[in-house]
């Protein structure tokens, strides 16, 4: 007889995941479950699976699996939802929650509206700009005394793109251009994701600058395809905006699913992301 797995579906500006409480539920093959449960026709439907687990170094641990079953280091929209879940379900009832991720421990400061958690500001840590640590397999020109991959011309399927590479715990390739709404991302996206420059594949952000304080972006996520939002991607875009001189350190990043506010602190070098977190529904999945 099939066993029932309790889950909660949540979304952060349209970036939706299935969340499972690992304090109460057991998942033996999370990659396989992610592929099945994420299917939008035959499963619950999501961008992936998130397990909320005990941690020895933080309040909780988050493991995140893409819709293709691959495990990712970090997801900014998901970590906000983890903070809300942990508070709403009484795992930790406090305003500031620490979450262990594959990209280190993140500090989640919950935001409230009418007594309910409506979102969070997350300290996403320092951006990684050294190519070998992003990783990207090339040498960039010196920038400010350091090696950085900024506005570097890259041939992708016969066309040159200027790519700025940033890691926010996971790799990102940021491209500034006009006409992002006209891009055929299902056709183009895999060429960037699997480009030989990126040994761990890459998330790719296509960005249109609106003003010195606002940009728009579309994202092709590693292992998931085009999604409505990407929190780490928005952070990487904000960093890339500063590196390329397009904006200041406070940037509103407009995505298909909504807007994130990003601040890259000059003193600490930490990137802070603010956005919503919403519970969609809860249910049981039979495995």
pLDDT at 143: 46
Annotated binding-site positions for substrate? 15, 66, 76-77, 170, 203, 221-222, 231-232
Summarize pLDDT for 102-127 with one digit per residue, the tens. 999 999 999 999 999 999 999 999 99
Given the residues 81, 118, 230, 241, select the one marked as catalytic: 230
Task: Tell whether the model's pLDDT for residue 141 goes beyond 60.
Answer: no
Per CATH, domain 4-123+276-286 is 3.40.50.720: no
Q: How confident is the model at residue 2 (pLDDT cuts 50, 70, 90)?
A: confident
| CA dist., res. 64 & res. 30, Å (int) | 9
Annotated binding-site positions? 15, 66, 76-77, 170, 203, 221-222, 231-232
Report the CATH number of the 131-269 domain. 3.10.310.10
Q: How confident is the model at residue 55 (pLDDT cuts 50, 70, 90)?
A: very high
How distant is the alpha carbon of residue 24 from its chain centre?
26
Query: Is 118 a catalytic site residue?
Result: no
Q: How far apart are the first and last CA of the chain?
A: 9
**Cis check: omega of the bond before 44, within 30 degrees of 0:** no
pLDDT at 147: 82
Query: Is 235 a catalytic site residue?
Result: no
Q: To the nearest whole number, what is the mean pLDDT of the chain?
A: 95
Which 3 state secondary structure label does DSSP give 141? coil
CB atoms within 10 A of CB 207: 26
SS (H, E, C) 57-110: CCCEEEEEEECCCCEECCCHHHHHHHHHHHHHCCCCCCCEEEEEECCEEEEEEE
Same fold, 4-123+276-286 and 131-269: yes
User: What pTM, to 2 d.p., does this model score?
Assistant: 0.91
- Alpha-helical segments (H) within the chain: 30-38, 76-88, 185-193, 231-243
Mean pLDDT in residue range 77-105: 97
Summarize pLDDT for 144-159 with one digit per residue, the tens. 445 899 999 999 999 9
Domain locations in the chain?
4-123+276-286, 131-269
């Amino acid at each position: 007889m099939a066993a029932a797995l309790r889950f909660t579906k949540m979304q952060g500006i349209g970036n939706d995941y299935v969340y499972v409480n690992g304090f109460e539920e057991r998942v033996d093959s999370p990659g396989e479950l992610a592929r099945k449960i994420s299917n939008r026709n035959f499963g619950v439907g999501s961008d992936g699976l998130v397990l909320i687990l005990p941690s020895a170094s933080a309040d909780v641990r988050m493991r995140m699996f893409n819709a293709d079953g691959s495990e990712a280091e970090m997801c900014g929209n998901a970590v906000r939802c983890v903070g809300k879940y942990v508070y709403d379900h009484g795992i930790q009832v406090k305003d500031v929650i620490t979450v262990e991720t594959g990209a280190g421990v993140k500090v989640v400061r919950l935001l409230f509206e009418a007594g309910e958690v409506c979102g969070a500001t997350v300290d996403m840590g320092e951006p990684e700009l050294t190519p070998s640590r992003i990783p990207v397999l090339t040498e960039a020109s010196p920038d400010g005394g350091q090696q950085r991959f900024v506005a570097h011309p890259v041939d992708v399927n016969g066309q040159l793109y200027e790519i700025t590479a940033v890691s926010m715990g996971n790799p990102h390739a940021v491209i500034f251009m006009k006409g992002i709404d006209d891009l055929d991302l299902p056709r183009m996206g895999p060429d960037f994701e699997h480009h030989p420059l990126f040994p761990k594949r890459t998330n790719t952000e296509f960005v249109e600058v609106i003003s010195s304080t606002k940009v728009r972006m579309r994202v092709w996520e590693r292992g998931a395809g085009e999604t409505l939002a990407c929190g780490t991607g928005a952070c990487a875009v904000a960093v890339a905006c500063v590196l390329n001189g397009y904006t200041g350190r406070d940037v509103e990043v407009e995505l298909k699913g909504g807007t994130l506010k990003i601040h890259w602190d000059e003193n600490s070098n930490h990137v802070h992301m603010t956005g919503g977190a919403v519970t969609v529904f809860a249910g049981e999945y039979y495995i």
